[in-house]
Amino acid sequence: MKIYAYGVIDSNCRIEDSSKGIEGGRIYNIPYRDIGIAVSDLDGRYQKNINPDHVLEHERVAEKLMESFAVLPMRFFTIFKDKEEILSMMSEYYDSFNENLNRLRGKLEFGLKVIWSGDVIKKRIAENNAGKGQSKLLSNGSPARNYIMEKFEKYKMNRQFEKEGHRDISAIDEFFSGFAVEKKLDTLKSDKLLLTASYLVEKAKQDDFKQAFERLKKSGPDGLKYLFSGPWPPYNFINLTKPEFKKA
């Protein structure tokens, strides 16, 4: 019998909740000092049965825990072989878990993805640049020089593309600046995906944050498509320090 872990919580008490977890296992708390880890038992069949419903189950449990505790959600399908292994992990990371629980208590995560017309913008920049001619390099017919000229044109185009992208990203981020305590912005992952952002927001400010998104949709930069999600447990804001690195 293995143990499936959902998240570290800021309580060593019994979980008063009858809801079930992955494969119908009862959720319970394994206490360690003043904190604990919410888990359920898992029989040997799970490996053959992993499916998208399990992801939703995991998320549902993490969110349910979030209602009553500060939670450090575990990555999907974190499995321990027995209670001893869990306690050993809790002992090793206790200080780091505590620091994170204190920092993230009362806070939630929101996600934002933004798509822009990267292909159209690149085309427009290329057309504009083509009209301007070569300012830095002149061809002398050599393949090596032509190669550098071609690369330089691409370089200039990408630089302009990134500049325009970051201008929009700053404008978007400005809408949320007063409502988030921490943020992580992943920019231009592809030509189309302009921004993948995670914002850490105090529970008390979540409505303000949602309203900021509504304002962004109405008066943000033109031509953007948004995917807004949350509140989630703070998956992207857990900063675990490995004990051996901490001592160094």
Partner 1 sequence: MNKKVKTDSPDVFIEEIEKIQEAIPKRIDANPQNVEKGLAKLVLTLVELIRKLLEKQAMRRVDGGSLTDEEIEKVGETLMKLENKMKELKEVFGLKDEELNINLGPLGDLM
148 binds partner 1 (CB under 8 A): yes
In whole angstroms, how close is the CB of 75 to partner 1 at the nearest point? 10
Q: Is 170 helix (H, G, I), strand (E, B) or coil?
A: helix
* Binding residue for partner 1, selected from 48, 142, 218, 244, defined by CB under 8 A: 142
The contacts of residue 116 (CB under 8 Å, 6+ apart) are: 165, 168, 192, 194, 223, 224, 225
192 binds partner 1 (CB under 8 A): yes
- The torsion angles phi and psi of 92, rounded to 5 degrees, stand at -65, -40
CA distance 54 to 21: 9
In whole angstroms, how close is the CB of 189 to partner 1 at the nearest point? 6
What single string gives the DSSP state of each residue in 1-53?
Answer: -EEEEEEEES--SPP----B-GGGPBPEEEEETTEEEEEEEE-TTHHHH--HH
Part in contact with partner 1 (CB under 8 A); list of ranges 18-26, 44-52, 82-90, 185-193: 185-193
Contact of 195 with 162, CB cutoff 8 Å: no
137 binds partner 1 (CB under 8 A): yes
232 binds partner 1 (CB under 8 A): yes
CA distance 101 to 234: 10
Contact of 216 with 199, CB cutoff 8 Å: no
* Total binding residues toward partner 1, as defined by CB under 8 A: 30
Part in contact with partner 1 (CB under 8 A); list of ranges 30-38, 47-55, 175-183, 225-233: 225-233
186 binds partner 1 (CB under 8 A): yes
In whole angstroms, how close is the CB of 193 to partner 1 at the nearest point? 5
CA distance 78 to 39: 10
CA distance 133 to 148: 15
230 binds partner 1 (CB under 8 A): yes
> What character string, x for contact with partner 1 (CB under 8 A) and - otherwise, covers 92-131?
---------------------x-x----------------
Asked whether the bond before 143 is cis by omega within 30 degrees of 0, the reply is: no
Part in contact with partner 1 (CB under 8 A); list of ranges 4-12, 24-32, 46-54, 183-191: 183-191
Part in contact with partner 1 (CB under 8 A); list of ranges 36-44, 97-105, 147-155, 169-177: 147-155
Considering the complex, state which of residue 31 and residue 230 has its C-beta at the smaller distance from partner 1.
230
Site residues for partner 1 per CB under 8 A = 113, 115, 136-137, 140, 142-148, 151-152, 155-156, 186, 189-190, 192-193, 213, 225-232
